[in-house]
Structure 1
Amino acid sequence: MKRIFYALSLLAMSPAAVLAQKAATGYVYNDDNGNGKKEAKEKGVANVAVSNGKEVVLTDAKGKYTLPVGDDNIIFVIKPAGYKVPLNAKNQPQYYYIHKPAGSPAEYEYKGVAPTGPLPASVDFAVMKYNEPDNYRALVLGDPQMLEPQDVGFFDKGIMSELVDVKNVAFGLTLGDLVGKVLTMHKDYIDVVAKANVPWYNVIGNHDTNHEATSIEKNDESFEASFGPSTYSYNYGQAHYIVLNNNLYPDPRDGKGLWGGFLPDQLTFVENDLKYVDTGKLVVLAFHIPLYQAEGAFRTEDRVRLFSLLAKYPHVLALSAHTHNQWQKFYDKEWGWTGAKPFHEFNVGATCGNWYSGRMNEQGVLESVMSDGTPRGYAYLNITGNTYTADYKVANKPADYQIGLWHRKVMSTIWWDGRGFVYANFYMGYKGSKVQYRIDNGKWKPMRYTLEPDPAFVAELYKWDDTEEMFRGRRPTEPANCTHLWKAKLPENIGIGTHQIEVQATDPFGRTFTQKSSYRIEEAKF
Structure 2
Amino acid sequence: MTAKFTGRGALLAAVSMVMAAPGLARTDYVANIDIVRTGADPAAETLTGHVFHDLSLDGARQADEQGVAGVIVSNGRDVTTTDADGAYTLPVYENMTVMVHEPAAYDVPVNKDGVPQFFYHHLPEGTPETLRYGGLAPTGPLPAAINFPMIRTGVDDEFSCVMMGDTQPYSNTEIGYVRDGVLDSILDQDLSAAECVIMLGDVMGDDLSLLPRFMDLWSVIDLPQYYVHGNHDFDFDATTDEHSADSWREMYGPAYYSFDIGGATFIALDNVVYPCGPEDNGPGGRDACADPERVVYNGRVVERQMQWLEATLAEIPEDRLIVMLHHIPFVSFIDSNTGRHQTDNLAEIHALLAGRPAVSFSGHTHTMEYLAAGEWFQGWEEQVGVTRLPFDHVVGGAPSGNWYWGDLNFDGTPLAFARGGTPPGYMIVDFDGSDFEVNFFAANLAPERQIALSFNTPQFRTWFDELFAWADEREDPAAETPPLTVNDLADLRLFTPQDLESTVWLTANVWIGDRNTQVSASINGGPDLPMTRTQAGNGEDVRSGAEWADPFAAVRQMTIGRFGWQSTQGEDRAQGFEVWQGSSYGPATPQPAETWMIADSSTHLWRLEMPADLPVGAHIVEVTAVMADGREFTDRMTFEVRAERPFPYWDNTLWEDQTN
TM over 0.5: yes
Pick the aligned partner of 1:351 from 399, 407, 422.
Answer: 399
**Residue identity opposite 1:449 in structure 2:** R
8 Å CA contact 1:238, 1:385 repeated in 2 = yes
8 Å CA contact 2:516, 2:627 repeated in 1 = no
Please tell me whether residue 405 in structure 1 is matched to residue 457 in structure 2: no
Please tell me whether residue 274 in structure 1 is matched to residue 313 in structure 2: yes
Rounded Cα–Cα distance in structure 2 between residues aligned with 1:500 and 1:229: 53
Rounded Cα–Cα distance in structure 1 between residues aligned with 2:43 and 2:351: 32
Rounded Cα–Cα distance in structure 2 between residues aligned with 1:308 and 1:168: 33
Within 5 A, what are the aligned runs for 1:112-261?
A: 112-164=135-187, 166-253=191-278, 254=290, 256-261=295-300
Paired residue for 1:297?
A: 340
> How far did residue 449 of structure 1 move?
2.1
> How far did residue 161 of structure 1 move?
1.2
> How far did residue 218 of structure 1 move?
1.2
Provide the identity percentage: 31
Paired residue for 1:427?
A: 511
> How far did residue 42 of structure 1 move?
0.3
> How far did residue 444 of structure 1 move?
0.6
Query: What is the CA RMSD across the aligned residues, in angstroms?
Result: 2.5
> How far did residue 419 of structure 1 move?
5.5
> How far did residue 196 of structure 1 move?
0.8
Paired residue for 1:476?
A: 593
**Residue identity opposite 2:66 in structure 1:** K
8 Å CA contact 1:412, 1:418 repeated in 2 = no
Rounded Cα–Cα distance in structure 2 between residues aligned with 1:468 and 1:138: 40
List runs of 5+ in structure 2 lacking aligned partners.
1-41, 279-289, 456-491, 535-542, 567-574, 578-584, 586-591, 648-660
SS at match of 2:232: helix
8 Å CA contact 2:407, 2:560 repeated in 1 = no
> How far did residue 497 of structure 1 move?
3.3
Rounded Cα–Cα distance in structure 1 between residues aligned with 2:609 and 2:375: 36
Which structure exhibits the higher relative contact order, with contacts defined as CA atoms closer than 8 Å and separated by 6 or more residues? 2
8 Å CA contact 1:206, 1:247 repeated in 2 = yes
Paired residue for 2:352?
A: 309
Within 5 A, what are the aligned runs for 1:336-485?
A: 342-407=390-455, 408-412=492-496, 420-450=504-534, 451=543, 452-464=548-560, 476-478=593-595, 479-480=598-599, 481-485=601-605
Please tell me whether residue 504 in structure 1 is matched to residue 643 in structure 2: no
Paired residue for 1:9?
A: none
**Residue identity opposite 1:482 in structure 2:** S
> How far did residue 493 of structure 1 move?
4.9
SS at match of 1:159: helix
SS at match of 2:340: coil
> How far did residue 465 of structure 1 move?
8.4
SS at match of 1:143: coil
SS at match of 2:145: coil
Q: For the structure 1 residues 308 and 21, does the alpha-carbon distance in structure 2 shift closer, same or farther, using more than 3 Å as the test?
A: farther
Rounded Cα–Cα distance in structure 1 between residues aligned with 2:128 and 2:520: 57
List runs of 5+ in structure 1 lacking aligned partners.
1-18
Q: For the structure 1 residues 385 and 112, does the alpha-carbon distance in structure 2 shift closer, same or farther, using more than 3 Å as the test?
A: same
> How far did residue 507 of structure 1 move?
2.9
Number of residue-to-residue matches in the alignment? 506
* 1:46-104: CA deviation from partner (whole Å, max 9, x where unpaired): 11000111111000110000111222111010001110010111001011111111112
- TM-score in terms of structure 1 length: 0.90
Paired residue for 1:326?
A: 368
* 1:138-190: CA deviation from partner (whole Å, max 9, x where unpaired): 00011100001100100000111123494331101000001111111111221
> How far did residue 20 of structure 1 move?
8.0
Rounded Cα–Cα distance in structure 2 between residues aligned with 1:386 and 1:144: 28
* 1:465-492: CA deviation from partner (whole Å, max 9, x where unpaired): 8998889767533214112111112334
**Residue identity opposite 2:427 in structure 1:** A
> How far did residue 462 of structure 1 move?
2.6
Q: For the structure 1 residues 246 and 269, does the alpha-carbon distance in structure 2 shift closer, same or farther, using more than 3 Å as the test?
A: same
Paired residue for 1:10?
A: none
Paired residue for 1:14?
A: none
SS at match of 2:554: helix
> How far did residue 263 of structure 1 move?
0.4
SS at match of 1:297: helix
SS at match of 2:345: helix
Paired residue for 1:100?
A: 123
Please tell me whether residue 28 in structure 1 is matched to residue 51 in structure 2: yes
Moved more, 125-134 or 416-425: 416-425
